[in-house]
Amino acid sequence: MTEPIAVTVLTGFLGSGKTTTLNHLLTQNHGQRFAVIVNEFGEIGIDEDLILHVDDDVLEINNGCLCCTTRGDLDRVLMKILDRRDDFSRVIIETTGLADPAPIASTLMAQQGHRYFYELDGVVTLVDAHHLLDQLGRSPEVPRQIGFADVLVLNKLDLVDDPEKLAEIDRRLKILNPGARIVRTEHGNLDPQILMDIGGFDPRRLEANDPIFGPDDDHGHSHEHGHDHDHGHEHSHGHEHQGHAHKDHDHKDHGHQTHGHEQTHGHASEHSHDHEHGPLGRHEQGVYSISVTEDRPLDGSLVDAWLRVVVQMHGDNLYRMKGILNVAGLDRRCVFHGVQQLVGAEIDRLWKEDESRVSRAVFIGRDLDVDMIRKGFANCVAQSP
């Protein structure tokens, strides 16, 4: 069987720098052979001197890349470029500034034809560092695009010289998507490697890609971060710098900060450890993440029913979900990954002898029912024989 072609979705709000970034990819000699799918050629503005050949909806660029236009029909273009699959190694699909990346992800994950030929590798969201804080309060597309991302590219850092503003930007990004990798750049000058081998939809790489699924050091209590406080859980992230990023700010290690914990007691709190990443106020327009853990084995049928209810209740408001589960009776981990109403699960590797068999799950979306998710997860615990 032929290996599927990896696909990266590149999104970001109006003015975030997607056009500049794509122009770099299509004109610089980086040694990669991308097929870049855009809405209209005119939006990219490729110099005619760089175009070797024009074939209807496909431009052949002299750096080895192809540029294709969808004209509103992504399915058609994806099938058409299969005739030239030997000419490129990866597909990059650009969304418009107001577009939701979910339909593209759904197209690649749900349609049988595309699933055979293509494999969704990840969603990369460009963020305008200069305007982000204002955009979060007035443009619902911005937190949505951030919530979907596997990689957040913080662009236009040359326009932000206030350390406090940078710290607030970091805090907001982690509230919206605490597991995303953050890369910093200026002028859309992005290393092409950032768009490759993301593994954002590979359940087997959850631990490597998302710090939420790293070693857990405390299951003895349950933390709830409420709607009334402007604070957030900040996980340690290795921030990467592209281009001419600021050297006078240390972005390598942000401490794990918690504020105003309300400790709960009872059966569930003895074993579970739940996080709701806030604030949940108007600035993030109801978009946030919820992570839950459980150190007791889970009943697989109850987990399946719980996930179905979560998906049905939240629909398109549930952007991303992923988890590693310890299912009773299995010596292997069960992993799941989902976008909106599409959820995939598989049996993963064997649990290691020295590994803590803790179930972890994270949900990112808008106006999530925190109590339903948290209590439903706790109710999935397998009954003792």
- 287-297 pLDDT tens trace: 888 989 999 99
- Determine the pLDDT at residue 259: 32
- CA torsion 6-173-126-106 (nearest 10°) is 40
- Determine the pLDDT at residue 73: 77
CA distance 53 to 61: 7
Q: Provide mean pLDDT across the span 230-259.
A: 39
Percent of residues, the chain, with pLDDT higher than 70: 73
Q: Provide mean pLDDT across the span 243-262.
A: 36
Q: Which of 228, 218, 213, 296 is nearest to 259 (CA)?
A: 228
Most confident of 46-60, 92-106, 199-213, 321-335: 321-335
Confidence of residue 165 (pLDDT cuts 50, 70, 90): very high
- 107-164 pLDDT tens trace: 787 776 788 899 999 999 999 999 999 999 888 889 999 999 999 999 999 999 999 9
Q: Provide mean pLDDT across the span 260-289.
A: 45
Confidence of residue 271 (pLDDT cuts 50, 70, 90): low
Strand order in 272-277's β-sheet? 272-277, 287-294, 359-366, 318-325, 332-339, 342-350
- Determine the pLDDT at residue 110: 74
The pairing of strands 118-128 and 151-155 is parallel
Q: Tell me whether residue 309 is exposed, middle or buried, using C-beta atoms within 10 angstroms of its C-beta: 0 to 12, 13 to 18, 19 or more.
A: middle
* For helices 163-176 and 141-148, angle between their N-to-C axes, nearest 10 degrees: 70
The pairing of strands 34-38 and 66-69 is parallel
Residue 178: what are its φ and ψ, rounded to 5°? -65, -20
- 166-199 pLDDT tens trace: 999 999 999 899 889 999 999 888 888 888 889 8
Residue 162 CB neighbour total at 10 angstroms: 9
- Determine the pLDDT at residue 308: 93
- Determine the pLDDT at residue 218: 41
CA distance 173 to 291: 16
- Determine the pLDDT at residue 196: 86
Lowest-confidence region among 100-104, 266-270, 325-329: 266-270
Residue 252 CB neighbour total at 10 angstroms: 11
- Whether pTM exceeds 0.95: no
Confidence of residue 18 (pLDDT cuts 50, 70, 90): confident
CA 8 → CA 150, 198, 199, 318, distances in Å?
Answer: 10, 8, 10, 21
- Determine the pLDDT at residue 201: 79
Confidence of residue 42 (pLDDT cuts 50, 70, 90): low
Confidence of residue 211 (pLDDT cuts 50, 70, 90): low
* Summary mean pLDDT of the chain: 77
- Determine the pLDDT at residue 72: 62
What is the 3-state secondary structure of the chain? CCCCEEEEEEEECCCCCHHHHHHHHHHCCCCCCEEEEECCHHHHCCCHHHEEEEECCEEEECCCCEEEECCCCHHHHHHHHHHHHHHCCEEEEECCCCCCCHHHHHHHHHCHHHHHHEEEEEEEEEEECCCHHHHHHHCCHHHHHHHHCCEEEEECHHHCCCHHHHHHHHHHHHHHCCCCEEEECCCCCCCHHHHCCCCCCCHHHHHHHCHHHCCCCCCCCCCCCCCCCCCCCCCCCCCEECCCCCCCCCCCCCCCCCCCCCCCCCCHHHCEEEEEECCCCHHHCCEEEEEEEECCCECHHHHHHHHHHHHHHHHHHEEEEEEEECECCCCEEEEEEEECCEEEEEEEEECCCCCCCCEEEEEEEECCCHHHHHHHHHCCECCCC
